[in-house]
Amino acid sequence: MTKELERILPLVQKPARYTGGEYRAVVKDKSEVTFRVAFCFPDTYEIGMSNLGMRILYGVMNAIPEVWCERVFAPWGDMEEQLRAHGIPLYGLESGDPIAGFDLIAFSVGYEMSYTNILNMLDLAGVPVRREDRGEDSPLVVAGGTCCYDPEPISDFIDVFSLGEGEEVTVEMIRLCQRAKAEGWSRARLLGALGQVPGLYVPSLVEVTYNDDGTLRALTPKHGVKLPVLKRIVSDLNASYFPTQTIVPSTEIVHDRVMLEVFRGCIRGCRFCQAGYAYRPVRAKDPQLLVEQGIAACKDSGYQEMTLSSLSTSDYRPLERLCDGLLDYCAPRDIGLSLPSLRADNFSMGLMRRLQATRKSGLTFAPEAGTQRLRDAINKNVTEEDLKQSCRVAFSGGWSSVKLYFMLGLPTETDEDVLGIADLAKKVLAWGREFGADQRRGIRVTVSTACFVPKPHTAFQWEAQVDRAEYMRRVTLLREHMRDRNITYNWHDPDTSFLEAVFARGDRRLGAVIQEAWRRGAKFDAWSEYFDMARWMETFADLGVDPRFYANRERGRDEVFPWEVTSVGVSRDFFARERERAYQAVITPDCRRQCSGCGANQFCPGGVCDA
């Protein structure tokens, strides 16, 4: 740590965010390193260090002997002020060296509201924010993560996008960059070569043209690049890297625990869920391997809590056997075991008993919609009877609180569907009283709603988002019909959901808006302390860009989408058929019951998906 840094750290909140030096952080001998990577997370240390994907890729890159990957997180406002005031550039936590001198700056981008932080971090590092302004000696700027399935809104700032799962393609990209560095390639030659690597999208190699009405006319690849760029996946999770020896933070983080990833993908096919399609096909880990990795991670880190991670944990076939194996170790040592992402249609008595073996927390279910018609329209494949049975199991087992998550503004939603949420919450409350929960503590039901955001690569990618006034009307309608002291109602801010919808399905013209909003002070837009909707709307107006064109407009059936430069392996025709079924409120069975022909089986051995 430099003397300058030592002087400023006492002046900021949570200085442990910026010191490095944690147990298991990777420090290498610079004389043995030929390639350096700054792995950036565009949010605070507490958020970034809770990200399992970042921990995995950190380990993958540092497993290459001559490569040193260091972590970089977005400094909070007080630290940024000190860095700028003292002329200290953004640095890697492991070495303290300015990242502008690294070979590669890689961002993990999982949320659209972090876009301005990407620009802020590049600027703090002394790296030109626009890719066109970077010279031969500038680091290559790369981005990966779920937001990159529509890379276009931030394509002015990123040299290369990595699509899909990064364990294998990251190594391929680094190897190619190492060769280019050793042989003295020009930046243009390297970008051209990277554009040929499966899973990598280079925006400078694609020309975009527009129609007079503002819609896209064409996305034209150059220099032999093929579109769309298909995502990369890891076929065998059992053979893939998992960090059983991982960094133990020196300060509290959001998810301060061991995280075990039980499988990737989802069998369900909810029509609103981008992740459910983006991570297809389903690939599961062996339960015995998971037990061994979980125990090893607990022993190394000293954590007293473990969580099983996936899009739908209760769909893991050997879940009860896995829990038994973990509990043999966890229960005698008072290590908590939690199972998020449980579904209301398969929460069993066996699962409940296993959860009770360690510390018991509240249960969360996500019916998503208040009526069966709307649940069928979004293909949730959960019935009221399913939820009742899960509540019977939970309440009779001693739980006294349940959280329910819903969306407002879903396609085809009516006021009857909105009021159905209130009816369902009251039923859950009645079931709790019926099925024997501890009456002395009382029953608590918490209902949360968020504004539906249409996402690329889903059946609802054509849909318009309801505007702010309509969303708030539905919130008010629901609140007025759910007045009960045992029911708590929380709703998500519609302003950030609106901007999320703008950027989720935006095109390159939004780059100028993002840059100008950042220049005017936008950063940490996911945080209420910094978010300023008026600033964003003034920026849109001053630049002559209508955000409603992106968020509140239904897309044409055959309209060219900005995100067609990428592919999750699921065909557009499939999404169109699913949209039609949504308007008919017809369900599509999950992948284990019947193959829906989405196209993701192209990733499976022999073209057969083993869901």
Q: Give helix 187-194 / helix 166-183 axis angle, nearest 10°.
A: 150
Burial 569-599 (b: 16+ CB within 10 A, else e): bbeeebbebbbebbeebebbebbeeeebebb
Query: At a CB cut-off of 8 Å and minimum separation 6, what does 103 contact?
Result: 35, 36, 37, 139, 140, 177, 181
Q: Which of 246, 281, 288 is nearest to 266 (CA)?
A: 281
The sign of the dihedral angle between the CA atoms of 391, 393, 395, 398 is negative
What pLDDT score does 351 carry? 66
Residue-wise pLDDT tens digits, 531-570: 999 999 999 999 999 999 999 999 999 999 999 999 999 9
Q: 70 and 90 in contact (C-beta within 8 Å)?
A: no
For 53, counting Cβ atoms within 10 Å of its Cβ (0-12 exposed, 13-18 middle, 19+ buried), the class is middle
Mention every residue, 6+ apart, whose C-beta is less than 8 A from residue 237. 261, 263, 264, 283, 284, 285
What's the predicted TM-score (pTM) here?
A: 0.95
Task: Give Rg (Cα) of the chain.
Answer: 24
The answer to whether residues 420 and 374 touch, using CB atoms and an 8 Å cutoff, is yes
At 11-36, the pLDDT tens digits run 999 999 999 999 999 999 999 999 99
* Burial classification of residue 387, based on how many CB atoms lie within 10 Å of its CB (0-12 exposed, 13-18 middle, 19 or more buried): buried
- Residue 30 CA to residue 316 CA, distance in Å, equals 43
Q: In the chain, where are the structural domains located?
A: 3-230
Alpha-carbon distance of 19 to 527, in angstroms, equals 23
Beta strands 160-162; 200-201: pairing state? antiparallel
Q: How far apart are CA 425 and CA 440, in angstroms?
A: 20
Can you state the percent helix, strand and coil of the chain, rounding each to 5? Answer: 40, 15, 45
Are 86 and 492 contacting, i.e. CB atoms less than 8 angstroms apart?
no
Contacts of 236 (CB under 8 A, 6+ apart): 283
Q: Decide if 429 contacts 445 (C-beta within 8 A).
A: yes
Class of domain 3-230: alpha beta
Distances (CA, A) of 474 to 368, 453, 468, 491, 541: 15, 15, 10, 11, 27
- Which residues have CB under 8 Å from 126's CB, separation 6+? 89, 90, 98, 100
Residue with tokens 């557009």: 572
Contact 153, 505 (CB under 8 A): no
Is residue 240 a contact partner of residue 234, using CB atoms and an 8 Å limit? Answer: yes
* Residue 49 contacts residue 246 (beta carbons within 8 Å): no
- Per-residue model confidence (pLDDT) at position 74: 98
What stretches in the chain show pLDDT beneath 50?
440
User: 488 with 428: CB under 8 angstroms?
Assistant: no
Q: What angle do CA 197, 199, 200 make, to 5 degrees?
A: 65
What is the CA angle 280-284-288, rounded to 5? 170
Do 171 and 62 form a contact (C-beta atoms < 8 A)?
A: no
The burial of 607, by beta-carbon neighbours within 10 Å (0-12 exposed, 13-18 middle, 19 or more buried), is given as exposed
User: Of 333, 236, 347, which is closest to residue 294 (Cα–Cα)?
Assistant: 333
Q: Give the span between the Cα atoms of 461 and 464, in whole angstroms.
A: 9
User: What distance in Å separates the CA atoms of residue 536 and residue 469, rounded to the nearest whole number?
Assistant: 18
Note the pLDDT of residue 355: 64
The alpha-helical segments, DSSP class H, found in 319-448 are 319-330, 349-355, 372-377, 384-396, 415-434
| β-sheet with 258-261: strand ranges across | 258-261, 305-309, 336-338
User: Do the beta carbons of residue 18 and residue 79 sit within 8 Å?
Assistant: yes
